[in-house]
């Protein structure tokens, strides 16, 4: 979840790295660990837990401030930190998990829960809830259920986001397009045409590789990207989706993929190659930083004028199953998701705060973050939010393949037929593991 972990692979400048969770630097490496999760103790009863996440340097600065608050409240618990760029984080985590030495507590995403649960890496936090060390009360919009898998609490949501259409507001105004809740894919197609014809710009940056958008489209039509144990759609379904995307590029409705690749890490929207782009709502900060225009959040198009298929995604905090300090891990997570001062420090860096107490504690004053809060509130008011589809073991590999193969198709190195066949081949292998 990126929830979160997903769009997080779409590299951008430092500002999106702040929101998405990648980093250009590695710092604060954790201390040498013991065999069981790296927790350590001392003669005076002080214990040390290791905490790892993916994120940029400004995220690290914020997190270190929250850790200082935590250690002040819990003077007998010390926290050693480690952060990496997104891809490097998971490479390192895989190595640590294989060696029986992952961090005691770490940032996590929905696509990895079943994977690491199957490998006996994740701590079921339910026992710590029962013991009173972790509260799952006070979460917004059903987010307390987000990290539950097969009756086990494997992650606690720390920041929510949802898919949105980020638009260049002046471009949409010049084109005479005003997206509203309940607009349809036909309305969207018409909008893309108006933007191209009236402004000389592609309507969208190219939606073919956004797995979580395709998931919403499938959910609108009674399916889903994933079932609990595999893919929830057919080769024919994906062929239809990617064929429409290919036609959009050829007709100029979607941005030229070669030009999009050339201007990376800048986005096609902020580089003025396109009038809009589907991504996570809390990424809006990226466009304001990169571009010269004014950007806004528009609703997801629908199939029937009602159902968007949306849910609140979230980054999570998880614990290591064999940590020597499960109580302290639970107390740490509890503090990070409930303490109001943490919200004031973190802001919307990891998404909108998941608990009502933290949501109320941080009320943004800048236009961009105010718009993010308003957007998520509008989803709640519209009643469109649903529960996320469970992700099977191997979902992270499927997501990476979807993004890579879609780009290859967009660049012309694969036909739609070849791209679909390759994706299903790779996915079947990943999901069989």
Cβ neighbours of residue 143 closer than 8 Å, sequence gap 6 or more: 157, 160, 312, 314, 354
Q: What is the pLDDT of residue 42?
A: 63
Residue 19: band (very low, low, confident or very high) from pLDDT cuts 50, 70, 90: very low
Q: Label residue 41 by pLDDT band (50, 70, 90).
A: low
Per-residue pLDDT tens digits for 372-402: 999 999 999 999 999 888 789 999 999 999 9
* DSSP class of 193: H
Low-confidence winner among 46-50, 64-68, 349-353 (lowest mean pLDDT): 349-353
Is-contact 162 312, C-beta < 8 A? yes
DSSP codes joined into one string, 91-146? HHHHHHHHTT---SEEEE-GGGHHHHHHTT-B--THHHHHTTSS---SBSTTGGGT
| 295-298 and 148-149 beta bridge pairing | unpaired
Does pLDDT of 87 surpass 60? yes
Mean pLDDT of all residues belonging to the chain: 89
End-to-end CA distance of the chain: 21
Q: What is the pLDDT of residues 128-156, one digit of tens each?
A: 999 999 999 999 988 999 999 989 999 99
**Residues 102, 37: Cα–Cα separation, whole Å:** 5
Note the pLDDT of residue 38: 52
Q: In the prediction, which pLDDT does 10 show?
A: 38
The percent of the chain in helix, strand and coil, each rounded to the nearest 5, is 45, 15, 40
Q: What is the pLDDT of residues 49-58, one digit of tens each?
A: 999 999 878 8
pLDDT at residue 73 greater than cutoff 60: yes
**Average of pLDDT values for 312-329?**
96
Residue count of the chain, please give it: 433
Question: Which residue is associated with the tokens 């939010």?
Answer: 385
Quick check: 34 pLDDT over 50?
Answer: no
pLDDT for 39 equals 55
CB of 318 closer than 8 Å to CB of 123: yes
pLDDT of 254 strictly over 90: yes
Mean pLDDT of 356-373: 93
Q: Which pLDDT does position 43 carry in this prediction?
A: 67
In this structure, whether the domain defined by 7-161+315-376 belongs to CATH 3.80.30.20 is answered with: no
Cβ within 8 Å of residue 109, ≥6 positions away: 1, 2, 3, 4, 5, 6, 8, 315, 316
pLDDT at 355 > cutoff 50: yes
Instruction: Please give the DSSP secondary-structure letter assigned to residue 37.
Output: T
- Mean pLDDT is lowest, of 2-16, 216-230, 286-300, for 2-16
pLDDT, tens only, 203-243? 999 988 999 999 999 999 999 999 988 999 999 999 999 99
Q: From the centroid of its chain, how far is CA 408?
A: 23
Q: How many CA atoms lie within 13 A of 366 on its CB side?
A: 7
Q: Please, which residues bridge with residue 79 across strands?
A: 49
pTM of the model: 0.82
- The tokens for 6 are 């997903």
Cβ(313)–Cβ(155) below 8 Å: no
């Amino acid at each position: 979840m990126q929830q979160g972990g997903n769009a997080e692979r779409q590299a951008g400048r430092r500002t999106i790295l702040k929101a998405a969770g990648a980093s250009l630097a590695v710092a604060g490496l954790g201390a040498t660990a013991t065999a069981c999760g790296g927790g350590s103790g001392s003669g005076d009863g002080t214990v040390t837990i290791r905490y790892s996440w993916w994120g940029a340097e400004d995220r690290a600065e914020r997190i270190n401030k929250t850790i200082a608050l935590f250690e002040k409240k819990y003077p007998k618990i010390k926290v050693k930190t480690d952060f990496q760029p997104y891809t490097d984080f998971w490479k390192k985590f895989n190595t640590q998990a294989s060696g029986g030495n992952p961090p005691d507590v770490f940032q996590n995403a929905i696509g990895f829960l079943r994977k690491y649960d199957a490998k006996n890496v994740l701590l079921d936090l339910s026992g710590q809830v029962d013991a009173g060390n972790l509260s799952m009360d006070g979460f917004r919009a059903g987010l307390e259920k987000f990290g539950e898998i097969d009756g086990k609490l494997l992650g606690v949501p720390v920041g929510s986001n949802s898919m949105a259409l980020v638009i260049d507001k002046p471009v949409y105004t010049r084109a005479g397009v005003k997206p509203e809740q309940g607009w349809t894919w036909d309305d969207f197609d018409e909008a893309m045409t108006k933007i191209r014809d009236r402004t000389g710009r592609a309507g969208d940056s190219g939606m073919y590789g956004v797995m979580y958008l395709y998931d919403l489209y499938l959910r609108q039509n009674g399916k889903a990207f994933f079932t609990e144990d595999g893919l929830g759609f057919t080769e024919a379904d994906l062929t239809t989706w990617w064929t429409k995307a290919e036609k959009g590029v050829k007709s100029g409705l979607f941005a030229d993929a070669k030009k999009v690749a050339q201007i990376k890490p800048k986005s096609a929207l902020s580089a003025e190659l396109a009038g809009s782009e589907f991504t996570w709502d809390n990424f809006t900060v990226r466009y304001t930083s990169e571009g010269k225009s004014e950007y806004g959040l528009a609703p997801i198009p629908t199939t029937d004028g009602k159902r968007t298929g949306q849910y609140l995604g979230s980054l999570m905090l998880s614990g290591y199953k064999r940590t020597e300090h499960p109580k302290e891990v639970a107390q740490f997570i509890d503090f990070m998701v409930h303490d109001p001062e943490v919200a004031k420090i973190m802001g919307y860096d990891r998404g909108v705060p998941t608990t009502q107490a933290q949501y109320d504690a941080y009320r943004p004053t800048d236009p961009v973050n105010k718009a993010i809060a308003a957007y998520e509130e509008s989803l709640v008011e519209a009643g469109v939010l649903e529960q996320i589809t469970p992700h099977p073991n191997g979902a992270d590999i499927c997501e990476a393949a979807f993004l890579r193969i879609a780009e290859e198709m967009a660049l012309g190195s694969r036909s739609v037929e070849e791209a679909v066949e390759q994706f299903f081949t790779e996915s079947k292998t990943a999901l069989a593991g």
